[in-house]
Amino acid sequence: MSVEKAAATYENSSVTNPNNEDISLETQNRLQKNIATRTRYIGLFRNIQKYSTIPITSYFCLHATNIIVLPLVASNNQVERFMEWTHTFLPINTAKWILFFAFTHIESGTLLKLFKIWNEADSRNLKGKNDYSVIKTFLLKFVKGRSPVSLSGSVFVFSVFFHLALIKFLPQYLGGLHTGIPFITWLLHNDSLFVRFGLGALPLIILIWGAIYHIVNGSAEFLGLKYNARNTFKSFANLLSIVGTITVFKFLLTKPIFQELEIPGFEKLISYFY
């Protein structure tokens, strides 16, 4: 629905109660105007939320090929070389751009939900029902009324922030320490169970399942697919997540060549998480 159509729907809808003596005509006009204005913003926020996913999804497809699929059929050295080759095609500060679009997606979705609830409150006020708290309803819907796609999005975002801090931003802070596949392999074979599972395997598996579920099923919503097609997307998401989990266990079971790893630098890096 276009922004103009959405606004017209609210303006022409029978949300008013002209026979209600408790609401003045001036108040009714003000509430109607507020509803129509917010509806235009709702259309804007919906489009921003929708199209901000394109860069994230595009990068995810490339990264999933590098990290989830390729390691099943290639050695770690080959995967590392392929990752370095693909990164030559990416813009500078890719991680920061990903975070920018992630924040844009989250903020527009939050404002979209808030403005819709606000419009519901004003619609009830027009009918003389002053029992609708915008903040209370927003918080209740945020905690209880969220869809699986929305919940998986929260898991995805927190996992991405942790992953980028561990793989990108802390290494840069430490003077450009090289991480990549050698670092992941080192994490998954560390003598410390906390490092091996708490910083290595478990966050990776959570990131894989959260990212795949949110992006694949969110893409089904983006494309407006019907029930049967959405079930196909869900099955694909589950299959890809299983493949990703198998890849993590492959790294756990593959014996690393420790002399090729920058162990002192890695020790300094993970010390920030103790």
Shared domain check, 134 and 219: no
Q: Which of 116, 145, 174 is the last residue of a domain?
A: 145
Name the domain count of the chain. Answer: 2
Shared domain check, 244 and 152: yes
Shared domain check, 158 and 37: no
pTM score: 0.72
Mind listing the pLDDT tens digit for each residue in 179-211? 666 777 778 888 888 888 888 899 999 999 998
Mind listing the pLDDT tens digit for each residue in 18-68? 444 456 787 788 888 888 888 999 999 999 988 988 888 888 888 777 777
The domain in which residue 204 lies consists of 147-274
Task: Say if 258 falls within a structural domain.
Answer: yes
Task: Say if 118 falls within a structural domain.
Answer: yes
Shared domain check, 130 and 244: no
Mind listing the pLDDT tens digit for each residue in 64-120? 777 777 877 777 677 767 777 776 666 667 778 888 998 899 899 888 888 888 888
Shared domain check, 103 and 160: no
Task: Say if 233 falls within a structural domain.
Answer: yes
Cα(248)–Cα(116) distance, rounded to whole angstroms?
41
Q: What is the percent of the chain with per-residue pLDDT over 70, rounded to a whole number?
A: 73
Task: Say if 69 falls within a structural domain.
Answer: no
